[in-house]
Amino acid sequence: MFRGPHVALVASAAAVLLFIDPVPTPIHYLVAVPLLALAVNSLDFSARYLTGFLSSRPMAMLGLWSYSLYLWQQPFYKFVYSQGSAPLPMLAGVFACALCSYYIVEKPARGWLNRNW
């Protein structure tokens, strides 16, 4: 049942839809989070178009930058919702700060740790 070629795509799309603002917060955690877990755990059985897309160079780069994006998104999120800033310039700011952080701090630190640990 959970091994179909489209389970990961359907589960992740449903989870994203359940994370929009009008959906009550308990639904985010009770339904959307398990759907995301299902999506991740069913990737081995996914269709080639999905695994090929997720393995592409742009998606791999986004995965490398994801921790820096995670760290920098919160201050910009606050500007959008508490200050009424425009979302697109804030998204550009998130990427600019995250990329600088990745290439100036994270990547050199990883390299040093890999060489010396």
18 and 28 belong to one structural domain: yes
- Tell whether 29 and 45 lie within a shared domain: yes
Domain span at 37: 1-55
In this prediction, residue 78 has a pLDDT band, given cuts at 50, 70 and 90, of confident
Burial of residue 97, with CB atoms counted within 10 A of its CB: 0-12 exposed, 13-18 middle, 19 or more buried:
middle
Please report how many Cα atoms fall inside a 13 Å half-sphere around the Cα of residue 58, on the Cβ side: 2
**52-89 b/e with 16+ CB inside 10 Å = b?**
eeeeeeeeeeeeebeebbeebbeebeebeeeeeeeeee
Q: Residues 83, 45: one domain?
A: no
Pair (61, 50) in one structural domain: no
Q: Please provide the size of the chain in residues.
A: 117
Distance CA(102)–CA(111), nearest Å, equals 12
pLDDT tens digits along 18-65: 999 899 999 999 999 999 999 999 999 999 999 999 999 999 999 999
Q: Are residues 16 and 44 in the same domain?
A: yes
Number of folded domains that form the chain? 2
